[in-house]
Amino acid sequence: MKVQRVDMFVCPSATPADTSGLQSLVDAGKVTRDNLVALVGKTDGTGFHDDWGRVWADAVLREWTAKLLGVAKDEVAKHVIFVLSGGCPGVITPHIAAVTREWVEVAQAPAEKRLVVGRAGSEAIAPEEVGRMGMIRKVAAATHEAMRDAQITDPKDVHLVMVKVPGLTVSSTVDAESRGHTVVSHDLTFGPEGAGSYANDAAALGVAMALGEVPESKLSDGVVRRDWDLYSEVAMTSSGGEKRHGEVVVFGNSAASASELVIGHAVTKDFIDAQGVRDALRAAGIRFDGGLPVEKDLDRLVHVFAKSVIPGSDVVRGQHITLLDDHNAYQIGKALGGMLIASVTGRTANYVSGGERNSHQGPPGGNIVAAVVRAG
Amino acid sequence: MKVQRVDMFVCPSATPADTSGLQSLVDAGKVTRDNLVALVGKTDGTGFHDDWGRVWADAVLREWTAKLLGVAKDEVAKHVIFVLSGGCPGVITPHIAAVTREWVEVAQAPAEKRLVVGRAGSEAIAPEEVGRMGMIRKVAAATHEAMRDAQITDPKDVHLVMVKVPGLTVSSTVDAESRGHTVVSHDLTFGPEGAGSYANDAAALGVAMALGEVPESKLSDGVVRRDWDLYSEVAMTSSGGEKRHGEVVVFGNSAASASELVIGHAVTKDFIDAQGVRDALRAAGIRFDGGLPVEKDLDRLVHVFAKSVIPGSDVVRGQHITLLDDHNAYQIGKALGGMLIASVTGRTANYVSGGERNSHQGPPGGNIVAAVVRAG
Amino acid sequence: MKVQRVDMFVCPSATPADTSGLQSLVDAGKVTRDNLVALVGKTDGTGFHDDWGRVWADAVLREWTAKLLGVAKDEVAKHVIFVLSGGCPGVITPHIAAVTREWVEVAQAPAEKRLVVGRAGSEAIAPEEVGRMGMIRKVAAATHEAMRDAQITDPKDVHLVMVKVPGLTVSSTVDAESRGHTVVSHDLTFGPEGAGSYANDAAALGVAMALGEVPESKLSDGVVRRDWDLYSEVAMTSSGGEKRHGEVVVFGNSAASASELVIGHAVTKDFIDAQGVRDALRAAGIRFDGGLPVEKDLDRLVHVFAKSVIPGSDVVRGQHITLLDDHNAYQIGKALGGMLIASVTGRTANYVSGGERNSHQGPPGGNIVAAVVRAG
Amino acid sequence: MKVQRVDMFVCPSATPADTSGLQSLVDAGKVTRDNLVALVGKTDGTGFHDDWGRVWADAVLREWTAKLLGVAKDEVAKHVIFVLSGGCPGVITPHIAAVTREWVEVAQAPAEKRLVVGRAGSEAIAPEEVGRMGMIRKVAAATHEAMRDAQITDPKDVHLVMVKVPGLTVSSTVDAESRGHTVVSHDLTFGPEGAGSYANDAAALGVAMALGEVPESKLSDGVVRRDWDLYSEVAMTSSGGEKRHGEVVVFGNSAASASELVIGHAVTKDFIDAQGVRDALRAAGIRFDGGLPVEKDLDRLVHVFAKSVIPGSDVVRGQHITLLDDHNAYQIGKALGGMLIASVTGRTANYVSGGERNSHQGPPGGNIVAAVVRAG
């Protein structure tokens, strides 16, 4: 029987242009032109709009990957998905995680479900669909396709869905309006009424619809960034640039896998909920004696993916906080997510994105945490 | 037998000018003109140099206290010590803690040691002594005196020493130099070679000397902000303004106490060490089943005092972090300390000061945490 | 004949709580409980959302004014209009300008028109009217009333209209929606699609309508923050809080005035247009020999009021700028306006507000400048 | 007679990696592998410590130049001097200026002195010399050598000296101390007592010594960053990294030049002194009718180089400013310099560096401005 074998390698980056860790993996035969599926990372810098660290990293990684694959730079996206999240405030170590997938023949499936990965591109998403039902449905369809590619049939086996969708730009807005359509917002930022936030959140609802977390009947243009009770527990989404299609990567566990890795997830119930982080570790198979992960067992932890969306409310467990009033809330909010993870795992090379206010990625006030663990 | 009864009341502040919580305590007879010893708090704002939230809070609280005491505003400092730390980034709830002390006659001492508090002013500290042995010795002497005032004889019973000392100013520098002396730095900031940092750290070493944490023989002008292996585990210090004397408040446990409160402390071993926070809770008497505090028992937690000095190194547990390169490191560093505490205690109204780089307050890379708990 | 005599006194503020300059004016008999019309100023601090300098100044000034007037603090607003703009980045000196008005009997009008001031409150503005025609019309009506109070009939004699209007809040939004209405935005900020920006801009269009700068026929809900060719050259507007009415202060010149002061205004054509600043000085009567104001004549300059709205475009005179990408654009944009004024006048105690992106206050890319000058 | 012909081409940069403008100059034959002397520019980004825009630009430009020259990347520095200053806040257009020099045979010298350029490297500068007389003397010697290379003999003909010197690092500090030396500061930043500031300022005093602006007899270790009355009017200096030698580029005018360009300079008397900017334009040959440059004549303006060091005092022309208290003073200070230049020239593609507090580059409170103009 032919099954997937997925691996994940986390390389710290000394600078945004550091490809030495990836190159070592290539030199060691662990990453090849045939098995590389995705590069997912956090890049050194502020994470603000004019953070050139992320852009530089993207340029260098695309060039490196093009060389590895022997294709032109603008062909890279067809073969390898890039998810680079800018900004490593506090205790988030800049890093790139390489995800590889091979198909191997095995005599029989392993006793427990193991990590699989699947990818899909969506249909083209028009600017008038951004942040609305059009985007929700197309992301849902692509999520289904990525599940098939991952050979997952039960949505419960999906533990992380990373999505990139088109945002709005000045020119795509003009395009939509010239064709008689409206757009979801003229604010192109990731602010509370920004098109970027609407795009991210419609993508999250698309995942939720595909996985049955939210029934299609409850979805409409009007619920996006309004009805926070609708959300996905596994979607991490981003949007931007002049993209025209969505990209979806599904991570889950499957019996049809020869991977040594397992993935699990949980959500935090609020912004300071370390228990939610521990739940994610436990879900992925880390052993606990009493309340804390067994320290030695943490060596099996390969990677953590977490959102750190800041709450829409200024009250946490009944106490007033002033984060929403802070000019640097976006950066501080992300940093705090980094601390929440690191203080539980004792490791700082975690993928933590966020900083925006409110989201359909995770429950109101809470956040998504997924952990990948080497099977014990 | 006449013993102290010390109490502590934490009042959240809706704005920097909010004295409603304190006034309620007065109205309820818990805080009186005779028992108020100290107001210690965190004020809403950025914590940066031009954060007027702290200044406004100070003005309002002094006025409120003057009315309570029936004294002139500039007499307040003789009766009540103010420790206001600016900046509540992230999950630090702005608040004021009122510390009260009464002398009560008891038939016999309680079975366990309970909270006591003592205060003392130092001799005048000349500008040429700031950040040097002169300051260290005078703070050490005042710490001894405050211990006597607290009726503590064993340094092991001291769990928190809050100190305020004079910093340098343009005019005090001129004064010192006109008398033929040098000053420790012409940089008046809290930067790595700033006079403010030298003052804070000499004060911390003064406490360490008084408590025997560092033998006097190891102390000299040259070790301040150089030899990080010398430090106090209980000193939280600040400096500033045109003060001429140091002020010391000692918190500890004593058999000669009728307080319902107990204090304990611990240190974190590094910047992400949640275990250090748990150790402080345990030291103060919070019960643990397995690794985590018993949730219900946390109701007995009255207050947490913590430093969040950022490490001098860019490596945490072998992994590179970029915090030191961040323009907002001061604010983010403080915010991260707030998350470390809140994620363990589930409460956000914690006194967390810090953000500066390196200190003799706590071990290299680690920080001090003290917890006050209602006896179980 | 009974005419106005208006005066204006600019007091630098050492701190947000500094009323010493105002008190000196009272002690000298220049400001009295009967003649004080408005306090307009810039307060020390960052100008960001959590800048407590402005709030503190407001509290202290209201208390001071209440004492002067012999009224309760919450009655002050009925007698004296407060316009406090937070944030003095760069070369903007924190200050408070007191505006006084008396009615004096004169034998005959002066040869040239002189400064007059008029005030009016608008009808109550419902939350569903904020940022829309309802607000525009009510501000226009109040502007007409303030002109009457100022005894100005020709709109050309109006050189500065300061307006404060209600913004939206969480509770006023709920109120409007519970009554079946929509609101202009759920984003409560001053971002490009924020309710605060819509409120400010509707107020500006209200002034433009009143003065005939924009015909009512061109105005509709849809043009607010869309059609930038519609604007006022004299409106400086702000919004906020739980206000329910608009407040309007009109400054202009009139023959029915015994003031020693004259006001003039101009607009800058773009963000770096020092000539626009010089034009404002010239309009107010400062003498020029060649291109520059006569240095000695600048002594007659009493005050400058300027907006520093940042352009919606990233191109200035054909060259690309990156201001729009900057996390601190709001603060830097305001600072740059301060430099533009100060570099022309050689004075830093100017009222410069702004930092937001795009506005109907002034032409696209340009800004409003008004100057008050002692008649030569 | 063999003389220099120097040209300067200012290319706006769309991104830090944009070499299209330079490449166009190569394609047009204006920049060649033989004539390229220096690349001097401002890079897009915040200018703070973790601004990767500057680093990315440096990497891309070095690679581009290596290809042009046909040398290895680490050989580029031997042939072309790079001066890249990070941070384009406000109205500073990111750009790269290419400086070229050819030697041409002319029948006779032109009637007026024209632009020449000269370069030199200094002797190796040990870490214990950084910020002290050792560095001052070595930079002075290199300045003399660069003047010879430029064929300038009269210091009055020098109008701009750009210098790069080694700063201190952790490892070079250890090196110096291991050999029994002290270093100027353990603060490695550009703060008021930072080694970076000492290095920059010693370099400036080295230029001042070479040009006779400050007699050697007045110079000593103790005057650096103490005696602000000692300064150069033409030195723009920077320091950093692991450099071991200083690099000096001298710009001046000479009769032995066939350039079409002329350079002139002036200083501002304080932070808001637009007249100083106009003086620099006039010094370089821009025509003035009355107080302002003749608008049409500004077409001949090729480039402006300016410092925007923020004053050490909080008083400008007798009025209090709060810039020194601002967390973003570094960025805002630079932005304000950009506005001062742009508001005079009407052009935003100016080289404006600065933001640090106090310097021997220019008089106390004032700054250096140099202008390069096409001869009329």
Could you report the predicted ipTM of this complex, rounded to two decimals? 0.96
What does residue B31 show for φ and ψ, rounded to 5 degrees?
-110, 130
Is the Cβ pair A327, B272 closer than 8 Å?
no
User: For C345, phi and psi rounded to 5 degrees?
Assistant: -90, -20
DSSP strand pairing (D235-240 vs D288-289):
unpaired
Interatomic CA distance for residues A82 and A79, integer angstroms: 10
**What is the reported pLDDT for A201?**
98
Q: How far apart are CA D180 and CA A174, in angstroms?
A: 68
What are the φ/ψ torsions at residue C116 (nearest 5 degrees)?
Answer: -130, 160
Between A70-74, B314-318, D184-188, the lowest mean confidence (pLDDT) is in D184-188
Touching partners of A (3+ C-beta pairs < 8 Å) = B, C, D
pLDDT at residue C108, rounded to an integer: 79
pTM of the full structure? 0.96
CA A339 vs CA A347, B279, B295: distances in Å: 10, 18, 21
Contacts of C100 (CB under 8 A, 6+ apart): C6, C7, C8, C9, C30, C31, C32, C35, C36, C37
B52-69 and C52-69 are packed helices; what angle lies between their axes, rounded to 10 degrees?
Answer: 50
Supply the mean pLDDT for chain B. Answer: 96
Hey, is D201 helix, strand or coil? Answer: helix
Distance from CA of A44 to the nearest CA of D (A): 8
Catalytic site includes residue D20: no
Interface test with D, best of B49, B51, B170, B334 (most D CBs within 10 A): B49
Residues A156-181 have pLDDT tens digits of 999 999 999 999 998 999 999 999 99
pLDDT of residue B289: 85
**Structure confidence at residue A22 (pLDDT):** 98
Interface contact A186, partner C, CB < 8 A: yes
Confidence of residue A107 (pLDDT cuts 50, 70, 90): confident
**pLDDT tens sequence across A121-134:** 999 999 999 999 99
Round to whole Å and give the CA distance between B363 and B202. 15
- Chain C residues 29-48 with CB within 8 Å of chain A: 46, 48
Choose among B46, B48, B56: nearest Cβ to C56.
Answer: B56
Options D85, D185, D238, D239, the catalytic residue: D238
pLDDT(C241) > 90: no
CB burial readout B287-301, b (16+ within 10 A) else e: eeeebbbeeebbebb
DSSP H helices, chain A, are 20-27, 52-69, 76-79, 133-150, 170-178, 195-210, 274-283, 329-345
Q: CA dist C332 to A249, A353, D161, D364, Å?
A: 40, 27, 29, 24
Helices and strands (H, E) in chain B, number of each type: 8, 16
CA angle D171/D165/D63 to nearest 5° reads 90
The kind and range of the H/E element at D22 are helix D20-27
Residue B30 DSSP symbol: S
Which pLDDT does position D107 carry in this prediction?
86
Please say if the pLDDT value at position C118 is more than 90.
Answer: yes
**Could you give the C-alpha distances from D66 to A232, B36, C185, in angstroms and in order?**
50, 72, 53
- Give burial (CB, 10 Å; 0-12/13-18/19+) of D212: exposed
Reported as type and span, the H/E element at residue B283 is helix B274-283
Which of B12, B92, B319 lies at the smallest CB-CB distance from A349?
B319
Q: What are phi and psi of D120, to 5 degrees?
A: -160, 150
- Is any Cβ of chain D less than 8 angstroms from the Cβ of C217? no
Alpha helices in B14-132, H assignment, sequence order: 20-27, 52-69, 76-79
Token pair, residue D227, equals: 């005696």
When CB atoms are compared, the residue of B17, B44, B50 closest to C45 is B50
pLDDT of residue A289: 85
Distance CA A197, CA A190 (A): 5
Q: Over the stretch C341-375, which tens digit does the pLDDT of each residue have?
A: 999 999 999 999 999 999 999 999 999 999 999 99
Task: Output the DSSP codes for D32-98.
Answer: -TTTEEEEEEEESS--STT-HHHHHHHHHHHHHHHHHHTS-GGGHHHHSEEEEEE---SS---EEEE
For testing contact with chain C, the best of B52, B56, B62 (most C CBs within 10 A): B52
Angstrom distance (rounded) from CA A180 to CA D118:
62
pLDDT (0 to 100) of residue D99: 98
Lowest mean pLDDT among A110-114, C3-7, C73-77, C255-259: A110-114
pLDDT tens sequence across C13-43: 999 999 999 999 999 999 999 999 999 999 9
For residue range D244-272, what is the model confidence (pLDDT) as tens digits?
Answer: 999 999 999 999 999 999 999 999 999 99
pLDDT tens across A238-281, in order?
A: 998 778 999 999 999 999 999 999 999 999 999 999 999 999 99
Q: Burial of D26 by CB count in 10 Å (0-12 exposed, 13-18 middle, 19+ buried)?
A: middle
Cα(D350)–Cα(B341) distance, rounded to whole angstroms?
48
The proportion of chain C whose per-residue pLDDT surpasses 90, expressed as a percent, equals 92
Give the pLDDT score at A333.
98
Q: Are D30 and D41 in contact (CB under 8 A)?
A: no
Can you list the residues of chain B whose pLDDT is less than 70? 109
Look at residues A310, A365, A368, A316 and name the one whose alpha carbon lies nearest to residue B341. A316
What integer best gives the mean pLDDT of chain A? 96
Buried b (16+ CB within 10 A) or exposed e, A80-111: bbbbbbbbbbbbbbbbbbbbbbeeeeeeeeee
pLDDT in tens, D304-317: 999 999 999 999 99
Cβ contact D272–C12 (<8 Å): no
Which chain C residue is nearest to residue B58, measuring alpha carbons?
A: C56
B279: phi then psi, degrees, rounded to nearest 5: -60, -40
| D368/chain C closest Cα distance in angstroms | 16
Judge residue D34's burial from the number of C-beta atoms within 10 Å of its C-beta, 0-12 exposed, 13-18 middle, 19 or more buried: exposed
* Structure confidence by residue, pLDDT tens digits, D32-68: 999 999 999 999 999 998 899 999 999 999 999 999 9
User: Nearest-CA distance from B96 to chain C in Å?
Assistant: 17
Asked if B49 has any chain D CB less than 8 Å from its own CB, the reply is yes
Chain-chain contact of C327 with A49 (C-beta, under 8 angstroms): yes
C-alpha dihedral (A14, A20, A21, A22), degrees to nearest 10: 130
Instruction: Identify whether B238 is a catalytic site residue.
Output: yes
Longest dimension (CA), chain B: 62
CB neighbour burial string for B227-241, b if at least 16 within 10 angstroms, e if fewer: ebebbbbbbbbbbee
Q: What is the pLDDT of residues D276-291, one digit of tens each?
A: 999 999 999 999 988 9
Report the neighbours of D using a cutoff of 3 or more CB pairs below 8 angstroms.
Answer: A, B, C
Asked if residues A9 and A303 have their Cβ atoms less than 8 Å apart, the reply is no
How large is the average pLDDT for residues D128-149? 98
What average pLDDT does range A73-80 have in this prediction? 94
Q: Assign D274 a pLDDT band (cuts: 50, 70, 90).
A: very high
